[in-house]
Amino acid sequence: MRSLYKFGLSILLALGSAAALAGYAFNFPDPVTPIARETLHMHNLVMVVILIMFFVVLGMLIYSFRTHNKAAGFKASKFTGPTNRKQWLWALSPFALLFVIDYGVFGIPAFHAVALYEDTRTDAELVVKVTGSQWLWQYEFPAEGVSYTSRLTTPRDQIDSGAAKGANYLLEVDNPLVLPVGKKIRFITTSNDVIHSWWVPAFGVKRDAVPGFLREFWAKVEKTGTYRGQCSELCGKEHGFMPVVVNVVSQEEFAKWIASKKPPVASAPTAAVEPVAGTAVLAKAQ
Ligand SMILES: [Cu+2]
């Protein structure tokens, strides 16, 4: 028994130290959108309920093994299937309990969280089109006529272990996506080549970018800051090298930034065609 405890303890220590070395966070990142907060609450609720169930069932098992054993003079009863009312009750009550927990305790809040995620009302204050490409992201603000690409900036030296890895190793880009705080933003994802997936953990959103399809989700970021994520659909040899970086700034800062990104007025005739074409595609997608 003692060696078993030692074995368990060493496994725990090994897992703990490996996690510490990797700088791994076990829990969700701080949620900054309503969707991320609901997802975290849902996760916590499920964890608490299944932990209680785990300990109740384990306790009953241990109690049964320790008290109703052969040494204490108990004889195994031999029967097939429930034969009396008490046995039926014991067979059906766990089923009924699980049914109530699954549909009532988990189902209702889970449905609410999914409905929030799939909110398709068109009251978005800003639309961002995200296009995945091997191996970069393209961001477009169709109404504002702004479009640019966002690529990894981690030097090749760090990737090939020729230099020490930076603080945001593989999570840094040249042109981050800039968004205003507190605005409802509708995201539309698509792809130029293969399936990618746009993911920012702190936003609680992840949506596949599928070639030939427009898929959508929305987010309302409540806190300014820099948020990092990654492509999360294996998309080829540099799948690990197309991170997502989002700078969430105040609404005034955003207005200034978007104005600086707009194409100069001199090229207006050609630039004006873009947003109109983009809007037509968006209207069709709804
Ligand atoms: Cu990708």
For residue 275, tell me if it sits in a domain. yes
Beta strand 177-180 with 243-249 is parallel
Distance 80 CA to ligand 1 centre (A): 55
Give percent of the chain with pLDDT exceeding 70. 82
Contact 231, 195 (CB under 8 A): no
Report angle CA 151, 279, 137 to the nearest 5 degrees. 10
Q: How far is the CA of 194 from the centre of ligand 1 (A)?
A: 8
- Quick one: CA torsion of 70, 74, 78, 81, rounded to 10 degrees? -110
User: If you measure from the C-alpha of residue 234 to the centroid of ligand 1, how many angstroms do you get, rounded to a whole number?
Assistant: 6
Centroid of ligand 1 to alpha carbon of 229 (angstroms): 12
Which of 75 and 284 is assigned the larger pLDDT? 75
- Going by the DSSP 8-state scheme, the letter that residue 211 receives in this structure is B
How many angstroms separate the alpha carbon of residue 104 from the centre of ligand 1?
38
Residues 157 and 281 grouped into a single domain? yes
Q: What length does the chain have?
A: 286
Highest mean pLDDT among 7-16, 85-94, 205-214, 270-279: 205-214
Proportion of the chain above pLDDT 90, given as a percent: 51
In this structure, the answer to whether residues 141 and 107 fall within a common structural domain is: no
Question: Sorting pLDDT into bands at 50, 70 and 90, what band is 91?
Answer: confident
Is 130 in the same domain as 265?
yes
Q: Kindly state whether residues 99 and 195 are assigned to the same domain.
A: no
The answer to the question of residue 74 being in a domain is no
CA 198 to ligand 1 centroid distance, Å: 8
Residue 186 and residue 65 share a domain: no
What tokens appear for 205 in the block? 């959103």
One-letter amino acid identity for 273?
V
Based on the fold, state whether residues 110 and 230 are members of the same structural domain: no
217 CA to middle of ligand 1, Å?
Answer: 18
Residue 90 pLDDT: 84
Q: Per the structure, how many domains does the chain have?
A: 2
What pLDDT is recorded for position 104? 84
Same domain, 153 and 114: no
CATH code of the domain in which 138 resides: 2.60.40.420
262 with 232, same domain: the answer is: yes
State pLDDT tens for residues 102-139.
Answer: 888 888 888 888 888 887 677 889 999 999 999 999 99
Cα 21 to middle of ligand 1, angstroms: 27
- Domain that residue 113 falls in: 30-69+84-118
Distance 220 CA to ligand 1 centre (A): 24
Q: Is residue 251 part of a domain?
A: yes
Q: Are residues 53 and 154 in the same domain?
A: no
How confident is residue 286, by pLDDT bands cut at 50, 70 and 90? very low
In a domain, 147, yes or no: yes
| Ligand 1 geometric centre to CA of 226 (Å) | 21
Give the tens place of pLDDT for each residue, 239-256: 999 999 999 999 999 999
Quote the ligand 1 centre to 100 CA distance (angstroms): 40
* 21 occurs within a structural domain: no
Task: Tell me the β-bridge partners of 198.
Answer: 207, 231
In a domain, 208, yes or no: yes
**Residue 10 confidence (pLDDT):** 64
Ligand 1 center to residue 218 CA distance, Å?
A: 20
The pTM score is 0.74
Report how far ligand 1's centroid is from the alpha carbon of 204 (Å).
18
Measured over all CA atoms, what is the biggest interatomic distance in the chain, rounded to whole angstroms?
A: 96
Answer whether residue 217 is part of any domain.
yes
State the distance from the centre of ligand 1 to the C-alpha of 134, rounded, in angstroms.
6
Measured in Å, residue 195 CA sits from the centre of ligand 1 at: 7
Contacts of 210 (CB under 8 A, 6+ apart): 189, 190, 191, 195
Do residues 64 and 153 share a domain?
A: no
**How far is ligand 1, taken at its centre, from the CA of residue 130, in Å?**
12
Residue 23: inside a domain: no
DSSP 192: S
How far from chain centre, in Å, is Cα 67? Answer: 46
155 and 265 belong to one structural domain: yes
Say whether both 151 and 243 belong to one domain.
yes
Gap from CA of 219 to ligand 1 centroid (Å)? 21
- Extract the tokens encoding 170: 């593989």
pLDDT at position 71 is: 86
Contact criterion met (CB below 8 Å) for 143 and 275: yes
**CB-side neighbour CA atoms (13 Å) of 80:** 0
Distance separating alpha carbons of residues 282 and 188, to the nearest angstrom: 9
